[in-house]
Amino acid sequence: KNQVEQSPQSLIILEGKNCTLQCNYTVSPFSNLRWYKQDTGRGPVSLTIMTFSENTKSNGRYTATLDADTKQSSLHITASQLSDSASYICVVSPYNAGNNRKLIWGLGTSLAVNP
Amino acid sequence: EPEVTQTPSHQVTQMGQEVILRCVPISNHLYFYWYRQILGQKVEFLVSFYNNEISEKSEIFDDQFSVERPDGSNFTLKIRSTKLEDSAMYFCASSSQGFSYEQYFGPGTRLTVT
């Protein structure tokens, strides 16, 4: 069954610190893996999108890595800011043009950055 | 920068009533989606829409749900007879190409069924 699992479920860090969020998936084959940021009560906003052949992709202070062999991805946030407080969701797009054309969503990691 | 918009931001309705949630996708996008998110749970896919027809739907999207693109800009989700368990955030998204490409999400409509 296609699944996406994230850890930790929640995380509290101090402003200025770095953190790494984890994503394990069982979707195979897959087309791409995305990380979204979702502020409370708002829609998800894309941070990175990586194909199976990419190992790393950066977007400012956000760096995502992908290991397609172990089916793991991570999102590293550098020099955290208060505005980074949000839920970070890992989403996998299956490589399937048949009847399963939908994204597989993780539950997200809730990050709180404290002053 | 173009963005997806949704109205209303919050809708309160009584059980059994019909609701219509509205979305204006990004103007040159061709693929449209509805998702929902119950508080504290995963985002769930409801339906995708392309070329004026449903291309994919989930088991959640039963006969009580329908989608429509009534004109060149709006994309609507109708729930015919709301239930308490329909209370959730509903997100509209659009993409220029198929589901595996970048999807841009609207701010959501919070539906509360009492």
pLDDT in tens, B83-103: 999 999 999 999 998 887 889
When pLDDT is averaged across residues B6-26 and rounded to a whole number, the result is: 97
Phi, psi of B33 (to 5 degrees): -140, 150
Confidence of residue B5 (pLDDT cuts 50, 70, 90): very high
Residue A98, pLDDT score: 60
Q: Hey, is the C-beta of A61 within 8 angstroms of any chain B C-beta?
A: no
Residue A73, pLDDT score: 98
Least CB–CB distance from A46: residue in B89, B102, B108 = B102
Which of A101, A104, A110 is the best residue to mutate to test the B interface, defined by the most B CB atoms within 10 Å of its own CB? A101
pLDDT tens per residue, range A87-101: 999 999 888 656 567
Contact A91/A33 with Cβ under 8 angstroms? yes
**Which residues of chain A register pLDDT less than 70?**
96-100
Least CB–CB distance from A102: residue in B58, B89, B102 = B58
Contact A66/A54 with Cβ under 8 angstroms? yes
| Residue that the structure tokens 């894309």 belong to | A46
Q: Which of A94-103, B13-22, B40-49 has the lowest mean pLDDT?
A: A94-103
Least CB–CB distance from B42: residue in A93, A102, A107 = A107
B105/A107 touch (CB, cutoff 8 Å), yes or no: no
Residue B105, pLDDT score: 97
Contact B76/B68 with Cβ under 8 angstroms? yes
Residue A97, pLDDT score: 58
CA neighbor of A32 nearest in space, from A107, A88, A86, A104 = A104
Residue A27, pLDDT score: 87
When pLDDT is averaged across residues B71-87 and rounded to a whole number, the result is: 95
Which residue does chain B place closest to A5, by CA atoms? Answer: B42
DSSP A15: T
Return the structure tokens found at B3: 């963005």
Residue A29, pLDDT score: 85
Q: Hey, is the C-beta of B91 within 8 angstroms of any chain A C-beta?
A: yes
